[in-house]
């Protein structure tokens, strides 16, 4: 649960705002597995590692330009933009601040959470949704330690439902759009890491639910 929470938080940071020196330093210090889980995850690790090994003379500028182009549509009059909002991918008119945003507001309020107001972004921004999942994972740590199968089962079910209702319902298309827009291996790798991890986590939750549902020996 702790590792899952930390990885969700890392993914949230990758897509929240442009890369700063602190994030770049942390990414360059990471050891990415050469092969892991779904092919998207392994491919994402490979692309990210290759980029970080040779980031160029001015990576912060390059990544800021790529972020603005890919996620904000800067410099694009027409064409594909990877809008980082669930509403854009799930509403009929592909508009921001639709039903998904209202649903996320309710979920945050239900947990007594709030989004970083300084970012001035709707609650269905991908980074907030990934941080919400990180919160669910962190909340599950003491529940797992209790060894109460019923409580664990409810926590896993809540995570699985959020994963399917608010992440896997739109992020595959979002990642596909990133691959059409991004110019750097950093964001191409991040897209594969994101999608690969979500698929891996879905399988993990299914296994955890099956295990917690088994009668004690």
Higher pLDDT, 184 or 213: 184
Mean pLDDT of 204-208: 93
Residue 91 confidence (pLDDT) above 80: yes
CA 170 vs CA 51, 137, 165, 178, 192: distances in Å: 26, 21, 9, 13, 14
Residue 182 lies in a domain: yes
- Residue 131 is predicted with a pLDDT of 97
In a domain, 217, yes or no: no
Q: Is residue 77, in this structure, part of any structural domain at all?
A: yes
DSSP 8-state symbol, 133: H
Mean pLDDT value across the chain: 92
Distance set, CA 164 to CA 9, 60, 70, 171 (Å):
18, 34, 25, 10
Q: Higher-confidence residue: 13 or 120?
A: 13
81 in any annotated domain: yes
| pLDDT of the residue at 213 | 67
Closest to 27 measured CA to CA, from 59, 49, 57, 60: 49
Beta bridge partners of 125: 85
Check if the beta carbon of residue 84 is closer than 8 Å to that of residue 40: no
- Position 30 pLDDT exceeds 80: yes
pLDDT at site 78: 57
More confident: 214 or 130: 130
Reported confidence tier of residue 108, pLDDT bands at 50, 70, 90: very high
Q: Are 84 and 127 in contact (CB under 8 A)?
A: yes
Question: Residue 76: its pLDDT value, please?
Answer: 61
117, 84, 82: which is closest to 100 by C-alpha? 84
Q: What pLDDT, on the 0 to 100 scale, is given for residue 35?
A: 62
Q: Which domain holds residue 77?
A: 2-212
Q: How many domains does the chain have?
A: 1
The pLDDT of 66-77, averaged and rounded, is 84
| pLDDT > 80? residue 44 | yes
3-state SS class at 214: coil
Percent of the chain having pLDDT more than 70?
A: 93
Does residue 23 sit within a domain? yes
Does 215 have pLDDT greater than 70?
Answer: no
So what's the pLDDT on residue 37? 59
Q: Tell me: pLDDT of 36 over 60.
A: no
Q: In the predicted model, is pLDDT for residue 216 greater than 50?
A: no
- Tell me whether residue 157 is in a domain: yes
Distance (Å, rounded) from C-alpha 119 to C-alpha 126?
13
pTM: 0.93
Q: d(Cα 97, Cα 103) in Å, to the nearest integer?
A: 10
Residue 106 lies in a domain: yes
CATH assignment of the domain containing 114: 1.10.3480.10
The answer to whether residue 189 is domain-embedded is: yes
User: Residues 26-51: what's their mean pLDDT?
Assistant: 87
**Per-residue pLDDT tens digits for 119-168:** 889 999 999 999 999 999 999 999 888 878 889 999 999 999 999 999 99
């Amino acid at each position: 649960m702790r590792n899952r929470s930390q990885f969700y938080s890392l993914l949230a940071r990758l897509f929240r705002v442009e890369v700063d020196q602190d994030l770049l330093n942390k990414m360059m210090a990471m050891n990415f597995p050469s092969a892991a889980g779904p092919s998207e995850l392994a491919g994402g690790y490979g692309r990210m590692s290759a980029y970080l090994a040779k980031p160029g003379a001015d990576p912060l500028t390059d990544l800021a330009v790529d972020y603005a182009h890919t996620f904000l549509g800067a410099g694009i009059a027409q064409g594909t933009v990877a809008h980082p909002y669930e509403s854009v991918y799930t509403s009929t008119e592909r508009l921001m601040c639709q039903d998904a945003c209202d649903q996320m507001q309710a979920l945050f309020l239900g947990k007594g959470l709030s989004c970083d107001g300084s970012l001035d972004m709707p609650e269905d921004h991908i980074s907030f949704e990934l941080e919400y999942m990180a919160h669910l994972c962190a909340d599950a740590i003491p529940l797992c330690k209790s060894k109460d199968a019923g409580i664990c089962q409810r926590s896993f079910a809540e995570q699985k439902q959020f994963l399917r209702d608010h992440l896997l319902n739109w992020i595959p298309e979002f990642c596909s759009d990133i691959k059409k827009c991004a110019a750097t291996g950093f964001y191409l790798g991040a897209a594969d890491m994101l999608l690969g991890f979500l698929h891996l986590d879905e399988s993990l939750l299914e296994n955890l639910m099956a295990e917690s549902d088994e009668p004690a020996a």
